[in-house]
Amino acid sequence: MTVVVVSNDPAFLAAFAEFSFKSHLLLVQTARLLAITRLPVHRLHTLHHLQKTLSRTNSLIAVINDNSTEFCASIYSMVPFSEPESQLLRVATWTPGKGLVLQHPTQLFPHKFAKFPHRPHILATAEQIPTQTVMEVDDPAQPGGKRVIVQGLMDNMMQLMSRRMNFTYSYVRAADRKWGARLNNGSWTGMLGLLMREEVDLALGPHAFGWSRYEWMDFSRYLSQIEYKILAARARPEVDPWSFFLPLSPLVWASVMMALLVVITIMMLLPACLPTSTQHTARRDTNMFNCVRVLLQEGNIHDISKQK
């Protein structure tokens, strides 16, 4: 989406810039804004809302000069996180004879968020969580005599981004040491209050996504994924002296008893089928006892007597 605004009214440009910024109209990277005006450059420095929009969005402003002998237009951009009194960066000029001429090596709508040329200093805020440590150490050079140190995943990401995007940063903490909640009057407490009042540039998460927050703050992409689970203590093991019966269902017990009866019957009938010369005289009760003894895995009583 490309939005073109043409106006010479400073109040209208400032109001449109404030509306577009608060309504997230231009905060998408693919959205572009081109403002065309005859206001001189020094007048633009007094429009703070316009400068904020130019610096934090993919925006350009074309200043038309038709007072000279040749009609021309200078196209400017503003570097992110630059001071309000900073000069606008001219990225191109346009004349009827030469057309659009880009200033080398800059391109129209430059990727100004890839790497900052002037190495700005960014203020960030963070609070204590189980995976992140926030400490304060004495440092007379810092405001309040305290320097905030953050250790954890989010600070690792800040270190990587500062090297890649060419900026320095420091941390501040909210006076109430809270993450932030919305009050009845519409203001916010904690870290989100610092961010809403523009006392800091970034607030390190994790932050819950909500419409009341999305109305005025921007969320980055997901940096990590955390799975929340409910844990419960396991029951202590209890020794059951009859636990050896548990694997045996009634059907198994019935099958074992049937097999025992079949074996006893065979042992009772088998000697009668053998020749008389090979028959071994044995008592029937002894054969029955041996079958039960084998089932229960007990030793022979005669062997036990001999061992004694």
Q: Which tens digits make up the pLDDT trace of 186-203?
A: 888 989 889 888 888 889
Express each pLDDT in 95-150 by its tens digit.
Answer: 888 888 887 666 677 777 778 878 888 899 999 888 888 888 888 877 777 888 89
State the greatest distance between any 2 C-alpha atoms of the chain, in Å, as a whole number: 144
For residue 241, cis peptide bond before it (omega within 30 degrees of 0) = no
- Look up the CATH number of domain 121-214: 3.40.190.10
pLDDT at residue 91 tops 70: yes
| Least reliable range by pLDDT among 111-125, 216-230, 235-249, 294-308 | 294-308
Residue 175 contacts residue 184 (beta carbons within 8 Å): no
Beta strands in 116-214 (DSSP E): 121-125, 132-138, 146-152, 168-172, 202-203
Q: Give the pLDDT band of residue 28 (cuts 50, 70, 90).
A: low
pLDDT at 124: 92
Q: Mean of the pLDDT values across residues 151-170?
A: 90
Q: How far apart are CA 261 and CA 292, in angstroms?
A: 10
Q: How many CB atoms lie within 10 A of CB 60?
A: 22
Predicted pLDDT of residue 119: 85
| 174 pLDDT higher than 80 | yes
Domain positions in the chain are: 2-102, 121-214, 251-307
pTM, whole model, 2 decimals?
0.59
For residue 96, what is the DSSP state? T
**pLDDT-based confidence at residue 50 (cuts at 50, 70, 90):** confident
List Cβ neighbours of 73 (8 Å cut-off, separation of 6 or more). Answer: 36, 62, 63, 64, 65, 93, 94, 95
What pLDDT does residue 117 have?
Answer: 77
Span 77-90, average pLDDT: 73
At the top level of CATH, the class of 2-102 is alpha beta
Q: Does the pLDDT value for residue 279 go beyond 60?
A: no
Mean pLDDT of 253-266: 85
In terms of pLDDT, which residue wins out, 273 or 9? 9
pLDDT of residue 86: 66
Tokens of 131: 């995976």
Q: What is the mean pLDDT of the chain?
A: 79
